[in-house]
């Protein structure tokens, strides 16, 4: 009972702090769930894809940002945050595999482990916020609650974005600058106070005491100098846009204490010079590491000292040059200048964005009205945080490519300034100078604590939870399960089988998640201690938002190429898959029917990964039915009018239920397997040719006999003359080839042509092997009596026969070429 009373009577600050710890636990839990949502391809392709692929020698995609000729991404921070931890993780995974047979390397590990590192880094934002609040005596409970419950920390803070690192480094820089400003203001105030006391002191002993107190004051002029300069260099190499966020913070650090008797322009210039000097070690280190990684600088050149300016890579400058190219930025998307202010700020910070914009507009209004006495002091924490918000916001709005994640570093100063308004409302007191009735009504109905205080925190909770669910678990959420499924397909496929994956209307698939050993590097076999290169067996084709008609043309080309390789000498088998949003299934079927490819392309739906929402293919809100998701399985091509959901709406519960079911079923990523329907070979019937072979004969023997019979028939019909002259030269045919009346002309022709082919008679020994090895042709010799002497009695053949009668050695071989009886039916038909 006592604990219950203590829990119920706890202060509002304690309640807010307890809720913050719950959200902190949720942030950590969301790493291991994991979040399936795919916010942006840069989450993988700017760091994890390259580092994981390089370390584990996996197939991966190196984007244009990592091109060796003009690299725009520094490799130092990804290497330090991912490549080195991967080495320790790999060692632990090997130990677990040897001792407990646990496999810790796979698609899940490739997603979770990098996110865990970045999530730990994200908690530095919480610490910096807590530290600044304690330094300046601010309420940290509601500020920590607003930061911990923000979907920016729950989604972006747990992802491997370079913007998340930029936000953490800006938070650290703000913390250091705030600490320096507070210490400088305190020390300068005490110093000036002691100087005044020293001047007014009358005794020497009192002056000595004051002088000792003055000298005991801590140093403040160059506080945190090395740490700040290193953070600035690392931030610029991480993302050159850090210049826009860090410039106002560094300016406030340089300007602290100015306007007093203790701080002059000499101190200002000294701070600038020492800041630049302290930044040189980090600058040289980053340039040296990038030059080595991108192979502009080699160890041999360092040893020989053959160095020039071309051996060094300065990635921030390459980044700036690439983004100054309007065509380059246009390829990523062109946005109007007001998108950051009107769209991205409200989407990221919802009610706090309205509060910050309203407060800044009030400051500008007072400044232009010359109401300087009500403006915050320039060297105050309010001015520092306001400059950290609106200076980068202004310059980023001048860039034609604007994404919400570019504003992540604004989160920390905005929450520090305006998070208490979630409880107090937009304005705890009347903010206007004039007491106008309309202004008073506007304040009472909207801005006051009574009007807006009870609702702002609830709106904050609802909007952040909704955005966390959308971007964390729905938006492009089928890509990760697709990668895991394709990884299983490749691991279980038959040997010497290629896998082809076609994707459309989804984000790029990170190849390292499929866990395929790279075919571009040498691998080491620990058993044979040999190096080998693995052949490539996975191919991926990404077509973005390509229209479905054009997509089918690509499918035809790819399937045709695969069929050619399968029917070629290599006999390369393959599997072809297509992954598209389920909302496009019916459109795919219609395009398939219109392209006349449905006769030989069979699309079989393997599975649908839920949930998945592609804004490039948003589900239809009306006119769809769940049965239409798997449209290629329908027997009829015309599906109009077949579903009740496609009829005129009756606005009944059943109709609304079908429409809702239709919409939900479209929130998926469909995976199809494409098969090519092959025509079966036609077997030739041989009944008409006079043959009746047994069923045990193979098709090859039958075709050979058919070709042999056709060749002999053509020879006897006069298409091939050489065999006839051989028959005329043979002694065995002297009596049989007596020319009949009907064939007198052809026989005379053969007789005249006989001398020209006398070489064949002289070359008859070459055919002796055929005579010995041709017992199958003995049937033709037995059938020779069909050519009786009364048929071909022609004196023209007496001389050639007597010429060849002397060649007794050739009598036996030539007799094997007796006229076949099977030729006579073809000749009669002809």
For residues 388-416, b (16+ Cβ closer than 10 Å) or e, as one string?
A: bbbbbbeebbebbbbbbbbbbbbbbbbbb
Q: What is the pLDDT of residue 385?
A: 94
Average pLDDT over residues 392-420: 93
Rank 195-199, 575-579, 675-679 by mean pLDDT and report only the highest: 575-579
Indicate whether this model's pTM tops 0.75.
yes
Within 10 A of 81 (CB to CB), how many other CB atoms are there?
19
Q: What is the pLDDT of residue 759?
A: 34
Cis amide leading into 822 (omega within 30): no
- 473-499: pLDDT as tens digits: 999 999 999 999 999 999 999 888 999
Statement: residue 420 has pLDDT above 50 = yes
Q: Which of 305, 276, 220, 237 is nearest to 77 (CA)?
A: 237
- 84-104: pLDDT as tens digits: 999 999 999 999 988 988 889
Q: How far apart are CA 721 and CA 808, in angstroms?
A: 25
Give the long-range contacts of residues 524-529, CB within 8 A, separation 24 or more.
Answer: none
Average pLDDT over residues 724-736: 36
Q: Which of 596, 588, 500 is nearest to 549 (CA)?
A: 588
Backbone angles phi, psi at 408, to 5 degrees: -60, -40
Statement: residue 159 has pLDDT above 80 = yes
Statement: residue 110 has pLDDT above 90 = yes
Statement: residue 409 has pLDDT above 90 = yes
Instruction: Express as a percent the part of the chain with pLDDT over 70.
Output: 77
Return the bridge partners of 613, or none: 475
Average pLDDT over residues 679-696: 39
Which tops the pLDDT comparison, 598 or 338?
338
Statement: residue 458 has pLDDT above 50 = yes
- 55-66: pLDDT as tens digits: 999 999 999 899
Residues in the chain: 830
- 749-806: pLDDT as tens digits: 333 333 333 333 333 333 333 333 333 333 333 333 333 333 333 333 333 333 333 3
State the chain's mean pLDDT as an integer. Answer: 79
Average pLDDT over residues 514-535: 86
Statement: residue 70 has pLDDT above 80 = yes
Q: What is the pLDDT of residue 785?
A: 37
Spatial contact of 31 and 161, defined as CB atoms under 8 Å apart:
no
Statement: residue 314 has pLDDT above 90 = yes
Average pLDDT over residues 562-584: 90
In the block, tokens 């636990």 appear at: 25
Spatial contact of 132 and 175, defined as CB atoms under 8 Å apart:
yes
Statement: residue 77 has pLDDT above 70 = yes
Q: What is the pLDDT of residue 705?
A: 62
Q: What is the pLDDT of residue 479?
A: 94
> Which of 431-435, 537-541, 634-638, 719-723 is least confident?
719-723
Q: How far apart are CA 43 and CA 403, in angstroms?
A: 13
Domain ranges of the chain: 23-332+407-423, 478-521+535-634+655-678+700-719
Strand (E) positions, 406-529?
A: 497-503, 522-525
Average pLDDT over residues 598-604: 85
- 316-333: pLDDT as tens digits: 999 998 888 777 777 778
Q: Which of 521, 579, 405 is nearest to 43 (CA)?
A: 405
């Amino acid at each position: 009972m006592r604990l219950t009373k203590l829990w119920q009577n706890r202060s509002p600050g304690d309640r807010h702090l307890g809720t913050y710890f719950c959200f902190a636990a949720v942030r950590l839990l969301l790493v291991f769930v994991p979040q399936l949502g795919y916010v942006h391809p840069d989450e993988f392709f700017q760091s994890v894809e390259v580092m994981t692929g390089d370390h584990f020698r996996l197939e991966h995609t190196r984007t244009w940002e990592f091109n060796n000729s003009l690299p725009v991404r520094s490799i130092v921070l990804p290497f330090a945050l991912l490549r080195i931890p991967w080495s320790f993780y790999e060692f632990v995974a090997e130990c677990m595999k040897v001792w407990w047979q646990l496999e810790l390397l796979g698609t899940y590990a490739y997603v979770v482990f990098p996110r865990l590192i970045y999530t730990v880094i994200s908690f530095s934002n919480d610490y910096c916020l807590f530290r600044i609040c304690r330094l300046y005596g601010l309420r940290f409970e509601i500020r920590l609650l607003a930061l911990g419950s923000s979907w920016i920390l729950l989604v972006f803070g747990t992802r491997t974005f370079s913007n998340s690192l930029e936000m953490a480094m800006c938070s650290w820089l703000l913390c250091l600058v705030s600490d320096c400003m507070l210490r400088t203001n305190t020390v300068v105030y005490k110093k000036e106070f002691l100087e005044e006391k020293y001047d007014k002191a009358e005794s020497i002993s009192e002056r000595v005491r004051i002088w000792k107190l003055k000298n005991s004051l801590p140093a403040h002029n160059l506080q945190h100098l090395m740490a700040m300069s290193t953070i600035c260099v690392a931030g610029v190499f991480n993302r050159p846009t850090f210049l826009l966020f860090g410039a106002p913070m560094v300016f406030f650090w340089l300007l602290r204490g100015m306007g007093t008797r203790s701080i002059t322009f000499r101190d200002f210039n000294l701070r600038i010079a020492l800041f630049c000097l302290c930044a040189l070690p980090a600058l040289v280190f980053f340039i040296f590491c990038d030059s080595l990684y991108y192979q502009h600088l080699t160890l041999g050149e360092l040893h020989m000292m053959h160095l020039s300016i071309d051996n060094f890579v300065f990635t921030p400058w390459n980044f700036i040059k690439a983004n100054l190219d309007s065509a380059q930025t246009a390829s990523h998307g062109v946005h109007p200048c007001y998108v950051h202010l009107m769209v991205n700020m409200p989407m990221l910070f919802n009610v706090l964005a309205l509060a910050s914009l309203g407060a800044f507009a009030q400051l500008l209004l007072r400044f232009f009205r010359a109401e300087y006495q009500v403006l915050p002091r320039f060297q105050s924490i309010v001015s520092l945080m306001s400059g950290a918000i609106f200076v980068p916001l202004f310059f980023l709005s001048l860039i034609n490519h604007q994404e919400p994640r570019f504003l992540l570093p604004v989160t920390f100063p905005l929450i520090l300034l305006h998070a208490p308004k979630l409880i107090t409302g937009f304005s705890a007191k009347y903010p206007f100078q004039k007491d106008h009735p309309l202004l008073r009504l506007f304040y009472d109905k909207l801005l006051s604590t009574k009007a807006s205080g009870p609702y702002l925190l609830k709106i904050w909770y609802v909007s952040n939870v909704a955005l966390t669910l959308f971007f964390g678990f729905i938006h492009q959420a089928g890509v990760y399960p697709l990668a895991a499924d394709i990884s299983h397909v490749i691991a279980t496929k038959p040997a010497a089988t290629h896998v082809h994956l076609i994707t459309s209307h989804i984000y790029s698939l990170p190849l390292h998640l499929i866990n395929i050993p790279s075919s571009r590097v040498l691998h080491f076999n620990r058993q044979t201690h040999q190096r080998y290169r693995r052949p490539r067996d996975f191919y991926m084709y990404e077509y973005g938002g390509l229209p479905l008609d054009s997509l089918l043309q690509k499918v035809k080309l790819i399937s045709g190429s695969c069929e050619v390789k399968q029917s070629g000498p290599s006999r390369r088998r393959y599997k072809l898959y297509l992954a598209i949003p389920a909302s496009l299934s019916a459109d795919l079927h219609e395009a398939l029917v219109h392209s006349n490819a449905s006769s030989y392309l069979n699309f079989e739906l393997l599975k649908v990964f839920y949930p998945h929402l592609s804004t490039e293919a948003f589900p239809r809100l009306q006119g769809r039915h769940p049965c239409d998701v798997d449209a290629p399985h329908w027997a009829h091509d015309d599906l109009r009018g077949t579903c009740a959901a496609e009829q005129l709406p009756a606005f009944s519960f059943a109709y609304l239920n079908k429409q809702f079911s239709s919409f939900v079923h479209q929130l998926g990523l469909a995976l199809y397997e494409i098969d090519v329907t092959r025509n079966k070979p036609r077997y030739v019937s041989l009944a008409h040719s006079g043959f009746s072979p047994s069923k045990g004969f193979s098709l090859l023997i039958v075709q050979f006999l058919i070709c042999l019979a056709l060749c002999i028939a053509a020879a006897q019909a006069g298409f091939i003359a050489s065999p006839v002259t051989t028959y005329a030269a043979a002694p065995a045919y002297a009596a049989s080839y007596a020319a009949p009346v009907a064939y007198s002309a052809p026989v005379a022709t053969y007789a005249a042509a006989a001398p020209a082919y006398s070489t064949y008679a002289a070359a008859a020994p070459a055919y002796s092997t055929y005579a010995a090895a041709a017992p199958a042709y003995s049937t033709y010799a037995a059938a020779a009596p069909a050519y009786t002497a009364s048929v071909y009695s022609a004196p023209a053949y007496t001389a050639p026969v007597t010429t060849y009668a002397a060649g007794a050695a050739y009598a036996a071989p030539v007799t094997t070429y007796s006229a076949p009886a099977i030729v006579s039916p073809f000749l009669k038909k002809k």
